[in-house]
Structure 1
């Protein structure tokens, strides 16, 4: 089967993942109302999902080693679909929480397995292609946002259940890169000797900074528009849509951009633009100016996450023969994915805690910290254009 079909299949799994995730988060206020949950209870449930996603990412390393990343991804997508279906039709709060827990565990495995498939294909292409995969995730999120708005007048179950069915369908039909295409480790060889964790930690720090900014924008952006500018209620569900659109467009153009200019200058320029965009948000005199700041912010930092996975895969496979490369890279990607959740927690907690009196102060934190990507960008020289 052609690499093009494999690439389209992996992109489809990224898109479905983004579709499911944003479909859930956009409906949280409605679930909060249905189950009479306090703000503290919702925060606790989100923390549960993040922690279980981290556990799912750890389990993905074992699953990929035993069964291959394609089988792991199919199983995780099915579990995610079942979990969301349970969330949609739950007759009691305990059942709702159980479905959310199943979804969270599957989320971590999907995060790891999709990136395992993506870096394996990138290796076969011999050039950077991960930004477009992450662009597919963002495209799925944009579709989910628009669908949530379009079906806001119908019940939660009717709006969410068809989307939950989509994940198992994609899992069963997508022609993913199979285990037979994996290269079996050489007999007697060590799969992961002398992994250069120092360089991987630098790459992970950049990814933490991205997800800190990303989570701050998507979690606190609508609240910022309401608290800082008293934006109209109809605007709040759309607050992060320009951010997502800008992120998606940047990621879809990211492959060609890396080919032309290289990863390092793109990341350094992006960090400067991101700091400026966050400054626009912090000092914005009105909500349209703040939305413009969020839009520029999405365009400036969107490629950091995919390039982090590309660089981590290159570092993990450096100096290892082809017989060991795939197993070693899969193991590293599963562990490297944990930086995703660290950044997410920092973005949600740090911005909210510092900005408890004023979110302008809260957004000043990522405005300063994102500049740390400038010195960290040198660790991305291994990314191939």
Structure 2
């Protein structure tokens, strides 16, 4: 099909104006989506690296923390469902901004809470905001990937990791400072992200047509998502507690369970686009499954906290590309053939919002199950993902569609 005459670039691209080759507007949209990922990682890792401090402040044990994390995960799932509804009636750009507002207000509340019920209320609001931003930022990322016509999801998730690294560095630098004084300035970043030029789409007139989505195939990709978030949430949530309570790391260094993990994740995601383009996702994910299980074994049997940190570091690099490739594959399946850009984005938004629910199933396994099984000894808790992550090996064949998209796409 011959593309329409080129018009002046809008502030943010829309489905009806999107050409095949990326424009400056598409690059700005890519950075905007990256900013949403960055803020999401910043707030989430800020929370998890402060869990030992939160435990001390409110006198919580591991089971109580597991209960609070369960609440956050369930409410994030609610936020993801709301994201699908709102995006269908407007666009994922609206949902991103709504989620940033809710998450910021909730996070500020939990930091300044004068009493435990207020803390719980703030944490609940943050959970809903987390789900809104999580689902909509991935909608944005998959849409921009389709505009680019090549896999770029790992680089979006690298923004999330970069936000987590900043959060971890702040935690290390302010370990002895009160929560509010140390972290409230960080909330300026999600407020600033509200002005980012997120991708929009034209509104469609109702047609009464149901979207024909191959959910069975997407379910298999979703299992891979569950496995990743099981490992990732276990590492980022319980890693600092594991170093502190089980291995006796110095109190100011417990965030080192997270920092090397995130640095390795960032490096792997930074080079992930190129690895997938050259070798394909199937080969990459099979290697990742084996290395991830071995690194978790190092963590489970670590004699000292230094050895455990080494295990967390390798683990971060091993699992880094599973989530972005899962979203990329789901987006490829959802995009289908013979759809115009507007219909494609509509279907991708719906699929990504529902696909994002697998995130929270994995988070339940990683945060809640790891804490519950490891309530007496977190070594047992980390043994759960050590075994289950091997499931990524037989699932890797489902990701061959990403390589086919690379082969069929014109390099940009």
TM range (shorter): over 0.9
- Bigger shift: 152-161 or 32-41? 32-41
Aligned to 1:258: 276
Matches within 5 A, 1:239-318: 239-318=257-336
Aligned to 2:236: 218
Question: Which of 180, 186, 189 is the matching residue for 1:163?
Answer: 186
- CA–CA separation in structure 1 for the residues paired with 2:399 and 2:323: 11
Report the Cα offset of residue 350 of structure 1: 3.1
Question: Which of 366, 376, 383 is the matching residue for 2:395?
Answer: 376
Conserved? CA contact 2:162–2:266, under 8 Å: yes
- CA–CA separation in structure 1 for the residues paired with 2:390 and 2:207: 45
Question: Which of 340, 343, 349 is the matching residue for 2:359?
Answer: 340
Conserved? CA contact 2:168–2:258, under 8 Å: no
- CA–CA separation in structure 2 for the residues paired with 1:72 and 1:354: 36
3-state secondary structure, aligned to 2:175: coil
Question: CA offsets, 1:49-100, max 9 Å, x none?
Answer: 1111000000100110111011111111012111112222233333322222
Conserved? CA contact 1:74–1:168, under 8 Å: no
Report the Cα offset of residue 189 of structure 1: 5.7
Q: Which runs of 5+ in 1 are unaligned?
A: none
Report the Cα offset of residue 310 of structure 1: 0.6
Question: CA offsets, 1:133-165, max 9 Å, x none?
Answer: 101101101101111221233322122222123
Aligned to 1:92: 115
- CA–CA separation in structure 1 for the residues paired with 2:285 and 2:269: 13
- CA–CA separation in structure 2 for the residues paired with 1:241 and 1:127: 30
Question: CA offsets, 1:240-268, max 9 Å, x none?
Answer: 21111101111111111111111111001
Aligned to 1:104: 127
Matches within 5 A, 1:115-126: 115-126=138-149
3-state secondary structure, aligned to 2:401: coil
- CA–CA separation in structure 2 for the residues paired with 1:223 and 1:175: 38
CA distance change for structure 1 residues 232 and 27 in 2, over 3 Å: closer, same or farther? closer
Aligned to 2:17: none
Query: Aligned residues, how many?
Result: 380
- CA–CA separation in structure 2 for the residues paired with 1:223 and 1:31: 11
Conserved? CA contact 1:191–1:327, under 8 Å: no
Conserved? CA contact 1:212–1:346, under 8 Å: yes
- CA–CA separation in structure 2 for the residues paired with 1:58 and 1:321: 25
Report the Cα offset of residue 187 of structure 1: 5.7
3-state secondary structure, aligned to 1:370: helix
Report the Cα offset of residue 20 of structure 1: 1.3
3-state secondary structure, aligned to 2:209: coil
Question: Which of 174, 188, 204 is the matching residue for 2:196?
Answer: 174
- CA–CA separation in structure 2 for the residues paired with 1:267 and 1:243: 18
CA RMSD of aligned residues (A): 2.0
- CA–CA separation in structure 1 for the residues paired with 2:254 and 2:176: 16
CA distance change for structure 1 residues 72 and 229 in 2, over 3 Å: closer, same or farther? closer
- CA–CA separation in structure 2 for the residues paired with 1:140 and 1:308: 21
Conserved? CA contact 2:234–2:370, under 8 Å: yes
Question: Which of 51, 64, 77 is the matching residue for 1:41?
Answer: 64
- CA–CA separation in structure 2 for the residues paired with 1:227 and 1:89: 26
Report the Cα offset of residue 38 of structure 1: 4.8
- CA–CA separation in structure 2 for the residues paired with 1:297 and 1:366: 11
CA distance change for structure 1 residues 357 and 159 in 2, over 3 Å: closer, same or farther? closer
Question: CA offsets, 1:333-371, max 9 Å, x none?
Answer: 111101111011111233334445544343333222211
Matched, 1:69 2:88: no
Report the Cα offset of residue 237 of structure 1: 2.4
Question: CA offsets, 1:269-294, max 9 Å, x none?
Answer: 11111122222223334332222121
Conserved? CA contact 1:226–1:236, under 8 Å: yes
Conserved? CA contact 2:49–2:237, under 8 Å: no
Aligned to 1:135: 158
